[in-house]
Structure 1
């Protein structure tokens, strides 16, 4: 993987994923913030939040995220991937400023919607941008950086959140966004695919020169050939009449919907509550930090394996581990709810949550976004990203909003058993319908989705044919 280590490309991917770090911050924010807002002595509000207010504060992030993808998808084609990402960073800054001065529940509602809009834009455009600037041989590894930085953002807030006030935390959370705006804006180029699609060949060449250790004209020719093959009428009727697009959008939307129904958004938002309810002898903040550290390590491992084992295998293993972790977690809460003695099983909640997080980050955290950057043509990528991301955040909002009500209605045990069953359904779906995209070029993946997969169109084979012909 690292025979031709490309520091320029790695730095570009790390810089753009500062937004993924910031997104991880806002998703883990509610874990400690809700505890504070339920404690009148510490809360900036004049009352402890009610269960309904708690549900809205936790879930409005995902509701706001529904508006980000269509706006970001349209903007990414009109203004470019780079400009769009910089614009969508601004609502996240504004939301933190609102929280710094918040004194009413409505202020938190507005802030969460705004930061959700940013999150929706990040998950629409970052996978698209990284997929377009990456070299084929390490595309899976680099696509996994969004999960790595997201997990680091989660870890940061799980560790720092309980130690500082909400106002101080919001000030700290602005820092990575400002760093992104400075370094991405000044030093990182626009996607060469976007430049080529707009007929700006000179800028496309300059972009590749900034992203590669050694520049090859053959890569420009390959990008141009890939774009020429993918040009099509992008009306809605023609899109869904196209076999490759229809199959790809069905795969990505189904995968992200099942990803959310496995319960990740709710578990992240209510992790402190889960550990408090478990009665574990380990404090909730310590348990949460341990889980977050494990999350970072597991997503790094997944990213390193994406170009070795392939996307399909990682997703199958991921769902299996999630299901195997959720069923015993549900069993623990079932015994506890029915008055059983669980003192001898004090270790089980944290062990199960760690197992779930390892499983989720082994594939479910990163691979859906890798596929989003791989399965679509340049013309359809923005539309597909919007549809897929809206589907993801719709179900993230739905599950996060319903979680506190479901835990009252069917208990923690019922919720975790339901999520475990979803993991099994997801495993079956992946094993039957998802093709492997590891190591394949965009043109080759398109042919695979159309049912005419060939090994003739890869960038590497194109280079070899040019060498032999010369």
Structure 2
């Protein structure tokens, strides 16, 4: 296995470089965890750039606006990916994120934070459309799952970076530090990364297609490269003979099934509770009053998240997609039930001193289960179920749904636990996970190690 990975090193390097934008997307959606306590006056008021405490409503909008912007981003990125290509689109969408970080670094009003967070969401949301597509298209069948999971690895690494660095820097300094990955990504991706082979084949650019594959498959000889050029070209040409529109997603039985599966997994992912946990993690630990410093608990949870996503990327091509996401959903459900029980006992003034460790342990275990399957598998499945000529359109729909649901959950979560209690909020998410596990068991096909043609045949049956 290690020898095979060394042979495929150019693919992993290209994927690593591309995933730097996913790292910053992770920062986007976890930014509010350490920054809101600075804006609401809970931390040192002297470092609050607003000059006054932000209200609960203002905090909710600052936390949720990236998800609203991310709804718009995929509409633009999906069109650009078919015109400019995957690589150039990734570089272009990094620019609004860079601009938004600069605005927030020098913002002194809530309105400026609103605008910057919305712009940040536009760019980061586009990453969720283009990057999974690019990763799947540069990979081979035997390493497609592992490379696809790098997307989630870098997202969770962005979360961890925010949890470790954010609490100890001012808003301005933290935003400026977050510029570094983008300043590395833009020139490095432009110089090193090849364009997606499938995109080059779709534009009939055989010369660049050969160059791209030669760079990605350095372990292959000239004859093997030529053979893959022919195979990729033939596959894409066959698909292009049947050009698909957005309507075809709903007319074709195979594509419609693929879309239902993908949107179902995305909905389960967003309503499993992680969307509320990530931006409000410090707040949750403060309410839990577990005895551990909230910042320390948050860092520990973020570190576990990274480890879990790395484990998932190692297991996804061995164990399979369906088993991993079943284990993930069932385990997350159990952890949410226990977490809700702790807050239920606490709200009714039962003594919870003997189990003060429970919220931290439950939340960390929940993060482990979530990242083993629910985090990476929906995006991996999205990249696998659709042919190249419709993939960008399907990814656009999926990403819009993803961030619409993300926006709703992040916006209402503070009101949910304020008016109904933290126990009700976590039990609501647990019920969603339980229903999702049943549906996955009966309806999700296994795609491990299967080619696009085999997956399409499986959906047809």
Match of 2:178 among 159, 173, 181: 173
Match for residue 297 of structure 1? Answer: 307
Match for residue 32 of structure 2? Answer: 30
* In structure 2, distance between residues paired with 1:383 and 1:62: 19
- 1:65/1:121 contact within 8 Å kept: yes
* In structure 2, distance between residues paired with 1:114 and 1:447: 41
* In structure 2, distance between residues paired with 1:431 and 1:56: 37
The reply to whether residue 327 of structure 1 matches residue 337 of structure 2 is: yes
**What does 1:33-48 correspond to in 2, within 5 Å?**
33-39=35-41, 40-48=45-53
Match of 1:367 among 377, 387, 403: 377
Match of 2:129 among 124, 129, 133: 124
C-alpha displacement of 1:235: 2.9
Match of 2:298 among 265, 288, 307: 288
- 2:39/2:54 contact within 8 Å kept: yes
* In structure 2, distance between residues paired with 1:251 and 1:230: 21
* In structure 1, distance between residues paired with 2:318 and 2:394: 26
* In structure 1, distance between residues paired with 2:405 and 2:339: 22
Match for residue 134 of structure 1? Answer: 139
- 2:261/2:444 contact within 8 Å kept: yes
* In structure 2, distance between residues paired with 1:425 and 1:360: 15
- Give the secondary-structure state (helix, strand or coil) at the position aligned to 1:373: helix
C-alpha displacement of 1:446: 1.5
The reply to whether residue 315 of structure 1 matches residue 320 of structure 2 is: no
TM-score, normalised to structure 2's length?
A: 0.96
* In structure 2, distance between residues paired with 1:196 and 1:115: 32
- 2:245/2:390 contact within 8 Å kept: no
- Give the secondary-structure state (helix, strand or coil) at the position aligned to 2:244: coil
- 1:226/1:442 contact within 8 Å kept: no
- 2:246/2:393 contact within 8 Å kept: no
Structure 1 unaligned blocks of 5 or more: 452-470
**What does 1:4-403 correspond to in 2, within 5 Å?**
4=4, 5=6, 6-39=8-41, 40-215=45-220, 216=224, 217-231=226-240, 232-403=242-413
Match for residue 432 of structure 1? Answer: 442
- Give the secondary-structure state (helix, strand or coil) at the position aligned to 1:149: helix
* In structure 2, distance between residues paired with 1:399 and 1:109: 18
* 1:146-197 superposed Cα distances (whole Å, 9 cap, x missing partner): 1111111111110000111010000110000111101101111110110100
Deviates more, 1:426-435 or 1:212-221: 212-221
Match for residue 455 of structure 1? Answer: none
Deviates more, 1:236-245 or 1:424-433: 236-245
**What is the aligned length?**
451
Match for residue 2 of structure 1? Answer: 2
- 2:276/2:409 contact within 8 Å kept: yes
- 1:226/1:443 contact within 8 Å kept: no
C-alpha displacement of 1:41: 2.9
C-alpha displacement of 1:241: 1.1
* 1:413-469 superposed Cα distances (whole Å, 9 cap, x missing partner): 000000011111111111111100000111211221122xxxxxxxxxxxxxxxxxx
Structure 2 unaligned blocks of 5 or more: none
C-alpha displacement of 1:356: 0.8
- 1:30/1:269 contact within 8 Å kept: yes
- 2:342/2:358 contact within 8 Å kept: yes
C-alpha displacement of 1:225: 2.6
- 1:32/1:162 contact within 8 Å kept: yes
* In structure 2, distance between residues paired with 1:75 and 1:49: 37
* In structure 2, distance between residues paired with 1:227 and 1:58: 41
* In structure 1, distance between residues paired with 2:379 and 2:443: 17
C-alpha displacement of 1:67: 0.6
User: 4+ residue runs of structure 1 moved beyond 2 angstroms?
Assistant: 1-5, 228-231, 235-239
- Give the secondary-structure state (helix, strand or coil) at the position aligned to 2:385: coil
* In structure 1, distance between residues paired with 2:368 and 2:333: 12
* 1:269-293 superposed Cα distances (whole Å, 9 cap, x missing partner): 0000000000111000000001011
The reply to whether residue 410 of structure 1 matches residue 417 of structure 2 is: no
* In structure 2, distance between residues paired with 1:65 and 1:236: 20
C-alpha displacement of 1:266: 1.1
C-alpha displacement of 1:308: 0.4
Deviates more, 1:52-61 or 1:227-236: 227-236
